[in-house]
Structure 1
Amino acid sequence: MSDHRGSIQEMLAANLRRARALHGLSLSELSRRSGIGKATLSQLESGSGNPTIETVFSLSRALEMPVSDLLDARPPGGLTVVRADDVEVLSGEGVDLRALRRIDTGDTVFEVYDQQFRADCRQESLGHTGTEHTVVQCGRLGVRVDGHEVELGPGDYVGFDASLPHAYLAAEGPVRSVLLLQYRKDQRAPQVTPHRDSLPPPGR
């Protein structure tokens, strides 16, 4: 029980300091808005306080942020590192994907992938849920979306409704890029990479 209490104290202390800094509030102003004494706030920020439900809800109201943001062990802005060598590769007909991060904002879910296209290989999709965003890092990438074709070079971006038929082609050598898949709250994110099921290259 004491370990759990300590973890709550540490999480609240870090998140409270961060939230107050982001809002540009002094201890005195936060005390005024929340109805919590300055001495109590100082103890909470140092991790030596003993937060109650009432205290946390008062802070939530004063800072206009969800209670979960005050008690999250991995608050927004924290350092998250994912090593490529530690992530399993998901391969398709012409692409290798590494799932780096899932970000759930409540209204929107984002999935971040390292995306590497193999030379002279076409990767096709009949379409899937969400919006697709790709930024090319190196190489040249051909993109076809619902019959429209563009070519991207390093630093170029393309975004489109992923429910449309689309295809990628690395015609001049391998291509490395970043893929961001975006889903609305009412859209269910697929459990496998959308490029896993590919079609044979078109005959044209």
Structure 2
Amino acid sequence: MGGPGESVRDVLAANLRRARIERGLSLSELSRRSKIGKATLSQLEAGAGNPTIETVFSLSRALEVPISDLLDRQLPFGPTVVRGAEVEVLRGAAVDLRPLHGIEVDGAIVEVYDQRVRPGARQDSLGHVGIEHTVVQAGRLGVRVGDQEVELGPGDYIGFDALRPHGYVALDGPVRSVLLLQYGSDQRLRHADPHAPGPGGNG
């Protein structure tokens, strides 16, 4: 997600504007839905600011689109190799996410993330589109979904509807896990030819 010379903010800037326009939303309306200030949204669309996990998930929820529709660039043909150490980290209150790849089948998509949960804080989400899957690799992870709480250890899995409020907390030291976000084809934005003229213009 993002290519050579492209930062998360560069890719987000282009995709956020495209998603907002495709949804027919003004900056003011998107600000109302996402609870993100209009000035901040304007900065994000200009490629400025410092997007966090909370910001990107709020935009995903408000626009009703997958995270990858906001963070992906078009991938080239051929084998795709992603070096985790070279991926820009998206940081939140307690989680570091490294977006690795999006697997698309018949318009549906599964996003793959390296997820690391830092101890000492909780990562909460009000909910967003998609089905969330987490597989713990190392450490003990506390997961809250609605009013239910479970503890997971290495090799354990949890899946749930991500529209429900949920949160993660590292219980006794850092946690490494794989996060998968699954979206149906009806939750994707239309992906038009990026070289085609835009509405009412010549590209």
Tell me the secondary structure at the aligned position of residue 101 of structure 1: strand
2:178 corresponding residue in structure 1: 178
**Structure 1 CA distance, aligned partners of 2:146 and 2:161?**
10
Matched, 1:92 2:83: no
CA RMSD, 1 decimal? 1.5
Does structure 2 conserve the Cα–Cα contact (< 8 Å) formed by 1:120 and 1:172? no
| TM-score normalised by structure 2 residue count | 0.54
Which residue of structure 2 aligns with residue 146 of structure 1? Answer: 146
User: Could you tell me which residue of structure 1 aligns to residue 17 of structure 2?
Assistant: none
Following TM superposition, by how much is the alpha carbon of 1:103 offset from its aligned partner in structure 2, in angstroms? 1.3
Kindly indicate whether residue 122 of structure 2 is the aligned counterpart of residue 157 of structure 1: no
1:88-127: CA deviations, max 9, x gaps?
Answer: 0000000000000011112411100000000122000000
**Paired residues, number:** 114
Structure 2: 5+ residue stretches without partners: 1-75, 190-203
Distance in 1 between residues matched to 2:106 and 2:161, nearest whole Å: 20
Residue type of the alignment partner of 1:148: Q
The secondary structure found in structure 2 opposite 1:186 is helix
CA distance in 2, matches of 1:155, 1:80: 26
Aligned to 2:137: 137
Partner of 1:127: 127
Give the match's secondary structure for 2:187. Answer: coil
Q: TM-score if structure 1 supplies the norm length?
A: 0.54
**Aligned partners of 1:188 and 1:142: how far apart in 2?**
30
Which amino acid counterpart does residue 157 of structure 1 have in structure 2? Y
2:176 counterpart SS class:
strand
Q: What letter is aligned with 1:180?
A: L
Aligned equivalents of 1:73, 1:177: Cα separation in 2:
28
Unaligned runs of 5+ in 1: 1-71, 190-204
Higher alpha-carbon Rg: 1
Structure 2 Cα separation of the partners of residues 121 and 188 of structure 1: 32
Give the residue type in structure 1 aligned to 2:183: Y
SS in 1 for 2:85: helix
Could you tell me how far 1:81 is from its partner in structure 2? 2.0
- Cα distance in 2 for residues equivalent to 1:106 and 1:89: 29
Distance in 2, matches of 1:123 and 1:169, equals 6
Give me the identity figure in percent: 63
Match of 2:103 in 1: 103
Contact 2:107–2:188 (Cα < 8 Å) also in 1: no
